[in-house]
Structure 1
Amino acid sequence: MAETTGSESLLFLTDEQLRKGIEAMFFAYRGFTADPDRILEGMEYGRAHHRALHFIHRSPGTTVSNLLGILGVTKQSLNRVLRTLIDDGLVRSEKGRRDARERHLFLTESGDALERQLSDAQRARMRSAYRAAGAEAVMGFRQVLEAMMDPEMRAHYNRLKEGGA
């Protein structure tokens, strides 16, 4: 198949081009998670802890139920992660004011400091990659990522983009 130039070529991607994109995503994800993984390694925390810290920081007061929807994990798995973070003084849980069955999650000072350390490492990597790629590539990359999201995840993402929980 003859390749065309410009954006028109994106409409006719070969299986080989798609495979290269998939592999690039795998290796980029490894790089994206490597720095936080190194930080968490000595703390006996994993990526699930990192994701929980990230989204609690992003939406202070978020409910356990909302976090379950964002993370797409089982209640049992999230409870294990939250129990560790709460016991270690990184997250605090408060009863809901309108519904005492709801648990609202907040980072403590220690949790905020760890989340900042993890996010700073990822922001540095993203900033460097974005600068190297340029503004047009960054916009295109974000559009591709958004187009790959399942509708439910895109709804969560859009709420976060708009400053909601």
Structure 2
Amino acid sequence: MRDAIPALKSHHPGKDILAETPAYDLIELFFFAYRDFVSDPDRILDEYGFGRAHHRVLHFVSRNPGLTIAELLDILRITKQSLNRVLKELIEKDFIESRMGTSDRRQRLLFATPQGRELALKLAKLQTRRIMRALSGMEPEAKDAVSRYLLSLIDPNDSAHVKHLVFGSEET
């Protein structure tokens, strides 16, 4: 590793987690990592008058062309009202388009416009740069370990769905 970090406080698997002292070190590292991970896109999104909700919608619609409103609500776990406000802005500013479903005309399918795909890619490249910089000083297996760790933070009832969404199958 590049720089030695202080030993993280011991957390023993199998012990009653509620009886232990909270993992403040890991909680705080996660907080600061997330803060900086979203800071790069935040600056660019601000130029468009967009926020993090716009980023999440644009990201998942761009990565999953033809995503339905219901599927997007399931991914983001936000209210329909919150999604409608953000989606309306993205559609009005020509970053996303909504099309009628082919088999069910009541269904709305979402697609990123060329401008939307370009912005989504620009934001993803910023975050990829930060991730790759973090992984660069680690062993080659680190990406797999980080992926397993992040997947283990996801609620067990949702992990298969997330694996499918992220990796395209139930396997990692």
Give yes or no for TM over 0.5. Answer: yes
Q: TM-score, normalised by structure 2?
A: 0.83
One-letter amino acid of the structure 2 residue matched with residue 15 of structure 1: T
Q: Any idea what SS the aligned residue of 1:89 has?
A: coil
Q: Identity of counterpart residues, as a percentage?
A: 42
Q: Secondary structure at the match of 1:135?
A: coil
Of the candidates 143, 154, 165, which is equivalent to residue 138 of structure 1? 143
Give distance in 2, aligned partners of 1:113 and 1:163.
Answer: 22
Segments of structure 2 that go 5 or more residues without pairing to the other structure are 1-9
Moved more, 153-162 or 123-132: 153-162
Q: TM-score, normalised to structure 1's length? A: 0.86
Q: For residue 9 of structure 1, report the CA deviation from its aligned partner.
A: 7.3
Question: Quick one: structure 1 residues 111 and 66, their matched pair in 2 at CA, closer, same or farther if it must change by over 3 Å?
Answer: same
Structure with greater proportional helix content? 1
Deviations 1:66-121 (A, max 9, x none): 00000000000001111000000000101111111111000001001111111110
Alpha-carbon separation, structure 2, partners of 1:140 and 1:15: 25
Shift of 1:153: 3.6
Say which of 117, 120, 123 aligns to 1:115: 120
The aligned residue for residue 3 of structure 2 is none
Q: 1:70 aligns with which of 66, 75, 96?
A: 75
How much is the aligned-residue C-alpha RMSD, in angstroms? 2.2
Aligned equivalent of 2:21, options 15, 21, 42: 15
Is the deviation greater in 147-156 or in 91-100? Answer: 147-156
What CA deviation, in whole Å up to 9, does each residue of 1:129-150 have, x standing for no partner? Answer: 1112333333222212111101
1:101 aligns with 2:109: no
Aligned 1:25-64 pairs, distance under 5 A: 25-64=30-69
SS at match of 1:114: helix
Secondary structure in structure 2 of the residue aligned to 1:31 = helix
Matched, 1:86 2:96: no
Where relative contact order (Cα < 8 A, 6+ residues apart) is larger, the structure is: 1
Instruction: Report the equivalent of 2:4.
Output: none
Aligned residues: 157
Alignment gaps of 5+ in structure 1: 1-7
SS across alignment from 2:48: coil
Following TM superposition, by how much is the alpha carbon of 1:47 offset from its aligned partner in structure 2, in angstroms?
0.3
SS of the residue 2:103 aligns to: coil
Indicate if the aligned counterparts of 1:64 and 1:105 stay in contact, CA closer than 8 A.
yes
Aligned partners of 1:138 and 1:44: how far apart in 2? 33
Cα deviation for residue 10 of structure 1 reads: 5.4
For residues 138 and 62 of structure 1, the distance between their equivalents in structure 2, rounded to whole angstroms, comes to 28
**Counterpart in 1 of 2:7?**
none
What's the counterpart of residue 124 of structure 1?
A: 129
